[in-house]
Amino acid sequence: MNHGQSSSQAVTLPLSQHIKADGSVTSLAEYQANYGYQGLAKALSMSPSEVVDWVKNANLRGRGGAGFSAGLKWSFVPPLEKLPGQRYVICNADEMEPGTFKDRWLMEHDPHQLIEGLAIAAYAVQADTAFIFLRADYDLCAERLQNAIDEALAAGLLGEQLNEAGFSLTMLMHTSAGRYICGEETALINSLEGKRANPRFKPPFPQVSGLFGRPTVVNNAETLCNLPHILYHGIDWFADLGLGDDNGTKIYGVSGRVNNPGCWELPIGTTVADIIALAGGMQEGVQLRGFLPGGGSTDFLTRDHLGLAMDYGTIQAAGSRMGTGTMILLDDQTCVVGMVLNLIQFFAQESCGWCTPCRNGLPFIRQILTDLEAGLGEHADLEQLLQLCGYIGIGNTFCALAPGAAEPLQSALKYFRDDFVAHIEQGCCPHGNSPQVDMDLEKEARPI
């Protein structure tokens, strides 16, 4: 295989190249004017296993949060000769992680890019049916994606007999009815089967037994959007885009009290400070105190970490996770106890209720934080919170929702402990927040 093959013009920010400032959608003609669907054509001229190897060698890491190699994941799907019959690929566009809006940005502006990427993934694992699992409330994405699927079908880019070997692909959209847990890939599969979205036990992994018991690959929307470019421009080009150990670009986002919140495609490994600078810096009169690097279920980092490269390894070494790459900033006017309470409230509400540490632990934590925020906390609460973070941590729960919920809390206790203590000693929130203390919940959640 010719890995270095390149179509010369130096595209450095491939995923966002069609995104227009006015927010309008890229049409099929506009998309095709710029090598659109040529990555798919190239894939269709290769054998499926060559495509898997190509993407494996490109070391495209999953952009849904965990950073698992896409090509490696695909290679776990048994070959057709060994396991004939139906298989599926699913685009995970559930995107309900608090503070995350990158997939929406990609899908709203350039739906064909996702469709092409999903088709490439389907071909690689020989799936004749692909689903886009789209979160509820993304009404504009739903409309634009469905139009784009129809356009691609009419143009013969999807459908029957896409190459000489007779590969055919049906692409379907499922819009969710809303629950954060649907983003967990096995819960997503249950949801697509029309069930309650409780996660499934692994193994078997979905690549072997997933949707309707058939081999299934689930990839994040941004992961899939990378594929057309990797196929078209080659592996060396992709490797050169990244600044550090990781390859390619990343859609980074910033929200919170900055002048210009938004998201941008940048070389993967851009520093935190450079990303925040793109967001126009902090609003007048507020100071940055810390940030959640990649959504609500990542550990806080602080001003000391501004110089770090936003890539998987660097952020992990600093004690957090790059997650979705969309940061949420904590400023000095915002109460960190209130912010963590807000996050825990989200996770408690969105827990699927399957396992006890998560179902009961999160409401318990919520009540302690509610008391603390209202100035009714005690010093012993802080130790208890840390202990609870351990109880809901990795290995104790059925899926990663609860361990994720522990991350902002445990790191807030590490970096901003003084804020918690101030609530206890002053008997109120120094920022003047006063959440409703639910006395019934308190009785329920606190065994005497």
Partner 1 sequence: MTPIIATDAAAHCADWRLQIEPLNVQEETAIAAEITHYPQPQAATIEALKIVQQQQGWVSDGKIKAIAQRLQMSPDEVDSVATFYNKIYRQPVGSTVISLCDSVSCWIMGYQGLAQALTQELNIALGETTADGAVTILPTPCLGACDHAPVAMVGDQRAHKLTPASLIELARLAQEQEQSL
Ligand X SMILES: Cc1cc2nc3c(=O)[nH]c(=O)nc-3n(C[C@H](O)[C@H](O)[C@H](O)COP(=O)(O)O)c2cc1C
Q: Where along the sequence are the contacts to ligand SF4 (CB under 6 A)?
A: 181, 199, 351-355, 358-359, 397-399, 401-402
Is 76 a binding residue for ligand X by CB under 6 A? The answer is no
Site membership for ligand X, residue 267 (CB under 6 A): no
Q: What's the CA gap between 381 and 383, in Å, rounded? A: 5
Q: Which is nearer to ligand X, 64 or 377 (CB)?
A: 64
The binder of partner 1 chosen from 194, 203, 285, 447 (CB under 8 A): 194
Residue 77 in the binding site for ligand X (CB under 6 A): no
Question: Using an 8 Å Cβ cutoff, are 420 and 300 in contact?
Answer: no
In angstroms, rounded to a whole number, what is the distance separating the alpha carbons of residues 372 and 384?
Answer: 12
Which listed option, ligand X, partner 1, ligand SF4, none, makes contact with residue 140 (CB within 5 to 8 Å by class)?
A: partner 1
Contact 52, 75 (CB under 8 A): yes
* Phi, psi (deg, nearest 5) at residue 160: -85, 150
User: What is the nearest approach in angstroms of partner 1 to the Cβ of residue 8?
Assistant: 34
Give the residue with the Cβ less far from ligand SF4, 66 or 376: 66
Task: Tell me if 294 contacts partner 1 by CB under 8 A.
Answer: no
Distance, CA of 128 to CA of 151 (rounded, Å): 19
Q: Is 357 in the site for partner 1 (CB under 8 A)?
A: no
Nearer to partner 1, 54 or 101 (CB): 101
Is 197 near partner 1 (CB under 8 A)?
Answer: yes
Name the binder of 242 from ligand SF4, ligand X, partner 1, none, CB < 5-8 A by kind. Answer: none
Identified binder of ligand X from the candidate list 59, 87, 94, 152, rule CB under 6 A: 94
Select from partner 1, ligand SF4, ligand X, none the partner in contact with residue 253, using the beta carbon and a kind-dependent cut-off of 5 to 8 Å: partner 1
Separation between Cα atoms, residue 276 and residue 214, nearest integer Å: 43
**Between 318 and 347, how does the x/- string for binding to partner 1 read (CB under 8 A)?**
--------x-x--x--x---xx--xx--x-
Which residue lies nearer to ligand X by CB, 59 or 375? 59
List of residues 6+ apart from 336 with CB closer than 8 A: 289, 290, 330, 412, 416, 419, 420
Task: Determine contact, residues 384/394, Cβ cutoff 8 Å.
Answer: no
How many residues interact with ligand X (rule CB under 6 A)? 24
Q: Does 246 bind partner 1 (CB under 8 A)?
A: no
Query: Using the rule CB under 6 A, is 60 a contact of ligand X?
Result: no
**Dist. CA 1–CA 4, nearest whole Å:** 9
Query: Under DSSP, is residue 16 helix (H, G, I), strand (E, B) or coil?
Result: helix
Q: With respect to partner 1, which residue has the nearer C-beta, 224 or 235?
A: 224
Nearest to 413 by CA among 320, 319, 340: 340
In the complex with ligand X, the residue whose CB is nearer, 64 or 234, is 64
Tell me the backbone φ, ψ of residue 329, rounded to 5 degrees: -95, 140
Q: In what order do the strands lie in the sheet with 170-175?
A: 170-175, 129-134, 88-93, 216-220
**Is residue 140 part of the contact set for partner 1 (CB under 8 A)?**
yes
In total, the chain counts a number of residues equal to: 448
64 binds, among ligand X, ligand SF4, partner 1, none (CB under 5 to 8 A by kind): ligand X
- The residue range among 110-118, 190-198, 219-227, 413-421 that interacts with ligand X, by the rule CB under 6 A, is 219-227
Name the residue with tokens 């269709």: 44
**Is the bond preceding 204 in cis, omega lying within 30 degrees of 0?**
yes
Among 113, 190, 191, 219, binds ligand X (CB under 6 A): 219
**C-alpha distances out from residue 366 to 110, 136, 340, 379, Å:** 39, 26, 9, 16
**Is the CB of 93 or the CB of 399 nearer to ligand SF4?**
399
Among partner 1, ligand X, ligand SF4, none, residue 175 binds (CB under 5-8 Å by kind): partner 1
Write each residue from 95 to 114 as x if it is in contact with partner 1 (CB under 8 A), else as -, in one continuous string.
xxxxxxx-xx----------
Cα distance between residue 182 and residue 176, in whole Å? 8
Pick between residue 118 and residue 258 the one whose CB is nearest to ligand X.
118
- Which runs of consecutive H residues, i.e. helices, occur in 46-181? 48-58, 70-75, 102-109, 111-124, 139-154
Among ligand SF4, partner 1, ligand X, none, the one that 328 touches (CB under a kind-dependent 5 to 8 A) is partner 1
Least distance in angstroms from the C-beta of 399 to ligand X: 5
User: Residue 233 has which token pair?
Assistant: 């421009």
Rounded Cα–Cα distance for residues 309 and 268 (Å): 8
Interface with partner 1 by CB under 8 A: which residues?
95-101, 103-104, 135-140, 172, 174-180, 191-197, 212, 253-257, 261-263, 296, 326, 328, 331, 334, 338-339, 342-343, 346, 349-350, 352, 433
